[in-house]
């Protein structure tokens, strides 16, 4: 075959996927649920397989979040690879043509395949990945999975009554000892009512 040397400055990118793995540990389900509720301006959000995958997209741009461990299991990866994927939310951004041209008018690959372009793309998305609460009561999926259905129903019911009647109003519904026990449950929520935001430490990228 003929050997044709093409200068790297002549390489042009037709498509680029900008990706990052967020390590969220046992809060993965909670984060995915919150991502499914996010409204990114001028984009529609759809979910698949009970929020295992969340996609925000429009005609030109697509942002996908998914459970990396689940993907590795589906692909029958080695136990070692599956173990490393535990707790990872994979983000994949497919920037539109105009966004690539905004950074490099001729879509030069050597300019787009850089940390600087990665930062250019992801910094537009990161501000949207802040979460106020886990759910309306601040109860995490991790807490639900580690407690009995009776305790879960008790906590949710008590929170609803507090919202409707207020602290003063519900005192007539409970004995003092029972009310103290309910308040101890509520204190659990006050310790961690919010999910950590998804962020990127750009200093870790070489």
> What CATH number corresponds to the domain at position 120?
3.30.310
Residue 15 placed within a domain: yes
CA terminus-to-terminus distance, the chain: 36
**30-56 pLDDT, tens digit each:** 899 889 888 888 999 999 988 899 999
Residue 82 placed within a domain: yes
Whether residue 170 is found in the same domain as residue 108? no
Task: Please name which of 68, 110, 69, 74 lies closest in space to residue 92, comparing C-alpha atoms.
Answer: 68
For the record, the structure tokens of 192 come out as 């961690």
Domain end marker among 111, 129, 147: 129
Task: Please name which of 142, 129, 139 lies closest in space to residue 196, comparing C-alpha atoms.
Answer: 129
Q: 144-172 burial by CB neighbour count: b if 16+ within 10 A, else e?
A: beeeeeeeeeebeebbebbeeeeeeeeee
**97-140 pLDDT, tens digit each:** 999 999 999 999 999 999 999 999 999 999 999 875 555 556 66
Whether residue 143 is found in the same domain as residue 45? no
Total of domains in the chain? 2
pTM (two decimals):
0.72
Domain end marker among 129, 148, 176: 129
Residues of the domain holding 85: 11-129
Whether residue 114 is found in the same domain as residue 153? no
The arrangement of strands across the sheet holding 53-57 comes to 18-23, 88-94, 62-67, 53-57, 44-48
Task: Please name which of 78, 108, 132 lies closest in space to residue 16, comparing C-alpha atoms.
Answer: 108
């Amino acid at each position: 075959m003929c050997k044709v040397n093409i200068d790297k400055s002549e390489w042009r990118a037709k498509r680029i996927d900008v990706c990052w793995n967020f390590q969220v540990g046992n809060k993965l389900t909670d984060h995915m649920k919150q991502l499914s509720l996010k409204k990114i301006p001028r984009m529609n959000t759809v979910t698949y397989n009970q929020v295992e995958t969340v996609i925000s997209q429009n005609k030109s741009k697509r942002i996908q979040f998914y459970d990396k461990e689940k993907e590795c299991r589906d692909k029958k990866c080695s136990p070692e690879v599956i173990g490393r994927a535990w707790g990872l939310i994979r983000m994949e951004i497919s920037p539109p043509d105009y966004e690539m041209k905004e950074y490099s008018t001729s879509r030069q690959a050597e300019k787009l395949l850089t940390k600087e372009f990665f930062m250019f793309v992801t910094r537009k998305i990161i501000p949207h990945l802040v979460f106020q609460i886990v759910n309306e009561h601040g109860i995490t999926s991790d807490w639900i999975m580690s407690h009995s259905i009776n305790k879960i129903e008790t906590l949710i019911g008590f929170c609803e009554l507090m919202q409707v009647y207020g602290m003063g109003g519900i005192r007539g519904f409970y004995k003092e000892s029972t009310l103290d026990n309910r308040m101890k449950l509520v204190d659990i929520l006050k310790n961690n009512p919010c999910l950590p935001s998804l962020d990127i430490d750009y200093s870790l990228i070489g």
